[in-house]
Amino acid sequence: MSKADSHPKGKLHDKQSERDHRKLRIDKVGVRGLRFPIQVRDKEHAVQNTVATIGMYVDLPHEFKGTHMSRFIEVLNAHGNIVHVENIEDILHAMQDKLNAATAHIEMEFPYFMTKKAPVTKREGLMDYTARFDATACGKDLDFVLTVVVGVTTLCPCSKAISQYGAHNQRGHVTVQIRSKKSIWIEDLIELVEKSASAELYSLLKREDEKFVTERAYENPVFVEDLVRNVAVKLNAHRDVTWYKVEAENFESIHNHNAYASIEKG
């Protein structure tokens, strides 16, 4: 009998459900790198349509050989052609049920767009930021972490203090992760970060705007250490934020390396 004829017609062997004897539990197993349309709450326009890169995972007890990868996609597709962020908890519980798992995880990373006016001319341009949701269901308990990555301008206080003609400045990225008692707008978290830097970034600047931004940065120099502390002070004052991690990385303009700082509450 050939291998193709080794199973009764209409019945295929389920290798994933076989017993595993190594007695090693797997914390996360699933799919990642899946691109899918999502709808995110937008403070100004109610909802924003974007495309997320998604990861979906469950825990695997030590006695099982594998999980059923197709079931993750089935759960996602069962919620329609567009995932609404408000459905994340439902998706997690559906993963627990369909995959017989105690714990389920989902991660969504996506570009988030905001219309931003230049500081002097008020010309509008579209800015893109990176946002991310990490959600975990453990039994009926839910954990949710919001992450935003915000580009900023920083000007070096030391360079300003020692230089006769100016000071070096650079673009940097600030990554903020938070847990909160209530939902916090992505826009509000972005604004909090931008107000902590030497100056904000814009997609459209005329000459009057460029003058304003460069002078603003010169008048407000910050080290990378100042940047994470400035953000942390604002987060400490936010009554709904229960945990945060702030990271700043400056892409130095006069060094062949980046400057980095991190601060965490928890």
What are residue 130's DSSP bridge partners?
111, 149
Please provide the distance, in angstroms rounded to a whole number, between the alpha carbons at the two ends of the chain. 63
Based on the domain organization, do 85 and 217 belong to the same domain? no
Model pLDDT for residues 238-248, shown as the tens digit of each residue: 999 999 999 99
CA distances from 37 to 34, 48, 85 (A): 10, 11, 11
Based on the domain organization, do 88 and 163 belong to the same domain? no
Final residue of a structural domain among 50, 72, 107: 107
How confident is the prediction for the chain on average, in pLDDT?
Answer: 92
Based on the domain organization, do 158 and 26 belong to the same domain? no
CATH number for 221: 3.10.270.10
pLDDT band at 66 (very low <50, low <70, confident <90, very high): low
User: Residue 11 falls within a domain, yes or no?
Assistant: no
Query: What mean pLDDT do residues 190-202 have?
Result: 98
Residue 247 in contact with residue 261, Cβ under 8 Å? yes
Strands of 139-202 (E only): list them. Answer: 141-155, 169-180, 199-200
Residue 172 in contact with residue 240, Cβ under 8 Å? no
Based on the domain organization, do 161 and 235 belong to the same domain? yes
Query: What mean pLDDT do residues 181-192 have?
Result: 96
Based on the domain organization, do 94 and 153 belong to the same domain? no
In 3D space, the residue among 54, 51, 195 whose CA is nearest the CA of residue 128 turns out to be 51
User: Residue 6 falls within a domain, yes or no?
Assistant: no
User: Residue 2 falls within a domain, yes or no?
Assistant: no
Based on the domain organization, do 129 and 253 belong to the same domain? yes
Q: What's the pLDDT score for residue 82?
A: 87
User: Residue 141 falls within a domain, yes or no?
Assistant: yes
pTM of the model: 0.89
Domain that holds residue 59: 18-107
Final residue of a structural domain among 53, 88, 107: 107
Final residue of a structural domain among 84, 107, 130: 107
Model pLDDT for residues 153-173, shown as the tens digit of each residue: 999 999 999 999 999 999 999
Residue 79 has pLDDT above 90, yes or no: no
User: Residue 230 falls within a domain, yes or no?
Assistant: yes
Q: What amino acid occupies position 130? A: T
